[in-house]
A and B are shown apart, each in its own frame.
Chain A
Amino acid sequence: MGIDSLIGGTIWDEYSQKVTDLMNNPKNMGEITEEQAKEMGTKLIVADFGAESCGDAVRLYWAVDPKTDVIKESKFKSFGCGTAIASSDTMAELCKGKTVQEAVKITNIDVEKAMRDTPDVPSVPPQKMHCSVMAYDVIKKAASQYMNVDMESFEEEIIVCECARVSLSTLKEVIRLNDLTTVEQITDYTKAGAFCKSCIRPGGHEEKDIYLVDLLAEYEKEKLAQVATLGNDGATIEFAKMTIVQKLKAVDKVIDDNIRQMLVMDGGDMEVLDIKENGVNIDIYIRYLGACNGCASADTGTLFAIENILKEKLDQNIRVLPI
């Protein structure tokens, strides 16, 4: 939260002058007909993206020179808000004079930056960023029609946050390297989730295949699994099959992550003395320290809690024996 989030502003106040001007007088708004394309000696491409029922739709017209693949003329028609119209206009402008192969490289971020008045002030407010994504998508659609290939073939990686164009591989890497646990942290590191917020969790403006909360949950799961993969080869080893050193490490990790804090809050602590196999049972010998020593629940409630956590995280056959 914070002051900026408490009183919402008018989204229009955050438009750059360029966005305002383009909304009032779009330069490349219009059509290219078959006849006009023929006169220029070009091939007409008409690509649609979005849908009126979803609130945003754009039709892009390209007149492409078939010998050089250069886009000679580029026009658009758009059903949408001011940002959609201004970014469609900018996108059409950026396409002109480029080859189709070059145009495919234009991203929604290029479009947004081209609409800025000053280099470091965004041209549209965060919740409007997704409107420029449509401008990017329609280029790929047009190019796929011209080159007669699948639209997805232009996408080299899976993009989770389309507004900031952050890929799945980048997100996974950043989460792991920095041990991130919250969406806010991901946004701070990558800008993913900072704009239309659809990629954070289901229920946003647009439906997604992958959400940031999924990635966090996945990483959390991985971390738990790691407890059991402390072997040198890195493969998953069942707790029961670990060497004694691995077992001690795994038990220590569970205690550090899940138990110690609870004891320390009450002025106590514990240490693991030994682990012994006893038939099917795995007996973990511990010693209470500080206030735990002699505490009434050290042999009842606290003990059961410790045992249950270790059972759940590592192995159902664990028994915890205080000495």
Chain B
Amino acid sequence: MRVYLDNNATTIVDPHVFEEMEPFFVQKYGNPNSLHAFAGETHPYIKTAMEKIYAGIQADRKDSVVITSCATESNNWVLKSIYFEYILTGKKNHIIVSEVEHPSIIATAKFIESQGCKVTYLPINSEGLIEAQSVRDAITDKTALVSVMWANNETGAIFPVQEIGEICKEHDVLFHSDAVQAIGKLPVWVQTFNVDYLTFSAHKFHGPKGVGALYIKQGRELIPLLHGGSQMGGLRSGTLNVAGIVGMGKAMEQAVDALDFEMSDIREMRDEFEDALLEIPDTFVVTPRNRRTPNTILISFRGIEGESMLWDLNQAGIGASTGSACASEDLEANSVMEAIGADEDLAHTAIRFSLSRYTTQEELDYTLEVVKKAVNRLREISSSYAYAPEGHESGLTTGH
């Protein structure tokens, strides 16, 4: 049995989405900017897709939802343009981000910091949450931008974007939110949440990889990151990814249609699965369920290093994660676990299970059995539970 429980990393492309994309490779392959029928025949499909994307986040027709290549591009765009427009010119000197943003925000913030911008990294509390008050405390009259994600990729923790949006409006500071983990899991209505910029990416909600978007509220300006042939109103040049846009439109429509299902049925499945996992002794979950996206569990199994747990899961055909997908290459501790800082011995033990509307009860039942076996086997190997003669002082754990 193969079970995919890594939906915060990426998702299966919905077959209906794929079906709608297919004609734009071999049949309707024209460049939409050309002057002939090959171009013209793509226009109605692009228009329909854009309407669906606008509707999905309740954007106003006067707002701009610019299609990009991925969320990383959208996030880079916002921070770097703010740097060019406000920091380099000396109008402002400061931005605020949370310390658990996606690397495409953190690394970009570090880069503009190296170019002279002051950056405040907002801490998370012991439950993995951001307190809106901390934004208010950090804002100065030189703050150009606040960027706080809608929901965290590792814990699923939902951040108080509504309150942060109001605080930013009050202080006349621009507000960006990376909503990559929120679309299709939570209502992301840009009009009610007071965001100026919003990032999202199709492949996180059953659309294709290689297509993302940046919502820009009307009246807000942003210097282009990619200059060129003036596509997307000159805001983002580059030949339109027709199939990608069509795919994202369909995926957005379906994600919004499935929102209730996600927030009730998936949540229920997740909660039951989590209850069953927590029956295993010495397991811990940090963020309270009602403050998390409905599909995510970040759970620690004491004494079991995360990668070895992934190994055993993978041997049984189950795909999960140690938190961030990046962890599989750079081998560092889960940054959220480090930031919470509660118990150092747990920093390398976190496993993330992220469900989707394609997850079945049968898959979760199977996964539970595999996890139980893996926990037994790996704790048998683990030094955490190992015998030591009387008087032996262990240097391996900080003590529990």
Contacts and interface: CB of A to CB of B under 8 A. Distances in A.
A84 B380 CA distance: 15
Contacts of B307: 81-82
A78 B395 contact: no
Interface in A264-303: none
Nearest to B349: A52
A10 B331 contact: no
Interface in A1-25: 8, 10-12, 23-24
Contacts of B398: 51-53
Which of B332, B394, B396, B398: most chain A Cβ within 10 A? B396
Contacts of B315: 24
A34 interface: yes
Contacts of B332: 205
A127 interface: yes
A79 interface: yes
Given A23-B311, A82-B307, A51 B397 contact: yes
A316 B242 CA distance: 67
B303 interface: yes
Contacts of B388: 46, 59
Interface in B361-393: 380-390, 392
A78 B383 contact: yes
Is the interface on chain B under 10, 10 to 19, 20 to 34, or 35 or more residues?
A: 35 or more
A52 B395 contact: no
B386 A59 contact: yes
A182 interface: no
Contacts of A322: none
A10 B328 contact: yes
Contacts of A220: none
Nearest to B377: A24
Contact of A46 (B314, B349, B392): B392
- Name the prevailing secondary structure of the B interface residues: loop
A52 B345 contact: yes
B348 A52 contact: yes
Contact of A29 (B331, B381, B390, B397): B381
- Name the prevailing secondary structure of the A interface residues: mixed
A79 B305 contact: yes
Contacts of A97: none
Interface string B321-336: 0000000110111000
Contact of B311 (A12, A50, A52, A57): A12
B348 to A, nearest CB: 4
Contact of B384 (A44, A52, A81, A205): A52
A8 B347 CA distance: 24
A78 B207 CA distance: 41
A315 interface: no
B264 interface: no
A80 B396 contact: no
Is the interface on chain A under 10, 10 to 19, 20 to 34, or 35 or more residues?
A: 35 or more
A113 interface: no
A84 B305 contact: yes
A26 interface: yes
Given A80-B308, A81-B305, A34 B389 contact: yes
A58 interface: yes
Which of B303, B380, B386, B388: most chain A Cβ within 10 A? B386
B266 to A, nearest CB: 28
Given A8-B329, A48-B394, A52-B348, A33 B387 contact: yes
Contacts of A115: none
Contacts of B382: 77-79
A57 B389 contact: no
B260 interface: no
B344 interface: yes
Contacts of A34: 389-390
A31 B387 contact: yes
A55 B347 contact: yes
- Ranked nearest first, the 5 interchain pairs of A and B with the lowest CB-CB distance are A53-B344, A77-B386, A81-B307, A31-B387, A57-B396
29 contacts: A8-B329, A11-B328, A12-B314, A23-B308, A24-B315, A29-B380, A31-B386, A33-B387, A33-B389, A34-B390, A48-B394, A49-B395, A52-B383, A52-B396, A53-B345, A53-B348, A55-B305, A55-B348, A56-B305, A57-B383, A57-B396, A59-B386, A77-B385, A78-B381, A79-B384, A80-B308, A81-B308, A82-B308, A205-B331
Interface of B: 303-305, 307-308, 311, 314-315, 328-329, 331-333, 344-345, 347-349, 380-390, 392, 394-398
Interface of A: 8, 10-12, 23-24, 26, 29, 31, 33-34, 44, 46, 48-59, 77-82, 84-85, 127, 205
Given A51-B397, A78-B381, 11 more contacts: A12-B314, A33-B389, A46-B388, A51-B395, A51-B398, A53-B348, A58-B383, A59-B396, A80-B308, A81-B331, A127-B331
